[in-house]
Amino acid sequence: MEKSIIASLTESQAALNAFIKDELAISAIAQAGRFLVEAFTRSGRVFSCGNGGSMCDAMHFAEELSGRYRQDRRGLAAVSISDPSHLSCVANDMGYAQVFSRYLEAHARAGDCLVAFSTSGTSANVVAAATYAKEHGITVIALTGRRHSPLSELADVEICAPGGPYADRAQELHIKVVHILIELVERELFPANYA
C-alpha cells in the first residue's frame, strides 16, 4: 500500500513540475487574473461552472471570492452555477446541455466573466455556456486538461493543465490554479492584504 501512495504522490509531483515549466500555462494564468480583475473593477460578476469534480472546483473558486480567502476583505460578486433547483429544472425541461447557458442567460451581462472547468474540454453543457458567453460579450476563461478542444476554441484564455490520461491530475492542477487566480485578484484589488 505504501508503494502505491508514494507512486501516486510522485506522479502528482511530476505533473506539477511539468506545469511549472509550461510558459504558455503561466502566461495564461496571468492573463486570466487580469480578466478577473477587469471584471470586478467594472462591477461585473464572475460565474463558474463544471461537472462532477470540476463543479466542486467551480464552487470552491466562487466561494473563496464571495466569502474569504486568506484575510478579511469585502466580498466579490462570484457565483458557481450549482443551484440544484436550477440544474434539475433546466435539465428536466430543456436538457442537461442547457443547465449552465440558461443560468447565464438569466443572470450574466456583457462585461462579466465565465470560468469554465472541463478536463476534457468537450463537456456539452460547459461548451454551451462558453458559446453563450462569447455571443453576449462575456469573457471566457477555460480550465482544461487537453489543448485543441471545443472549449479551447471558445476561450478568451485557456489554462490547460495536462496531468496524464485521467482527470484527477488535471483537477489537482486546476485547484492550484484556482488559488493562484484568487491571490492575483486580491493582490490587485486588496494590496494591503499582501503588504
Got the DSSP string for the chain? -HHHHHHHHHHHHHHHHHHHT-HHHHHHHHHHHHHHHHHHHTT--EEEE-STHHHHHHHHHHHHHHS-SSS------EEES--HHHHHHHHHHT-GGGHHHHHHHHH--TT-EEEEEESSS--HHHHHHHHHHHHTT-EEEEEESSSS-HHHHH-SEEEE---SSSHHHHHHHHHHHHHHHHHHHHHHH-GGGG-
State the CB neighbour count (10 A cutoff) for residue 187. Answer: 13
Here the CATH number for the domain that contains residue 100 is: 3.40.50.10490
Q: And the C-alpha cell for 179? A: 488559488
Residue 166 has a pLDDT of 75
pTM: 0.96
Give strand pairing partners of 48.
80, 115
| For residues 114-133, average pLDDT | 97
Q: What phi, psi does 22 have (nearest 5°)?
A: -85, 95
Cα separation, 38 vs 138, whole angstroms:
12
Domain that holds residue 161: 2-194
Question: Are 162 and 146 in contact, with CB atoms under 8 Å apart?
Answer: yes
Using alpha carbons, select from 20, 13, 11, 25 the residue that is nearest to residue 147. 25
Q: What phi, psi does 139 have (nearest 5°)?
A: -65, 135
Residue 164 has a pLDDT of 73
pLDDT digits (tens, 9 = 90+) for 52-100: 999 999 999 999 999 999 999 999 999 999 999 999 999 999 999 999 9
Average predicted confidence (pLDDT) for the chain: 96
Residue 165 has a pLDDT of 77
Min mean pLDDT across 9-23, 103-117, 162-176 is at 162-176
Is it the case that residue 122 has pLDDT exceeding 90? yes
Q: How many domains does the chain have?
A: 1
Question: Are 2 and 10 in contact, with CB atoms under 8 Å apart?
Answer: no
pLDDT digits (tens, 9 = 90+) for 132-164: 999 999 999 999 999 999 999 999 999 999 877
Give strand pairing partners of 144.
118, 160
By percentage, how much of the chain surpasses pLDDT 90?
95
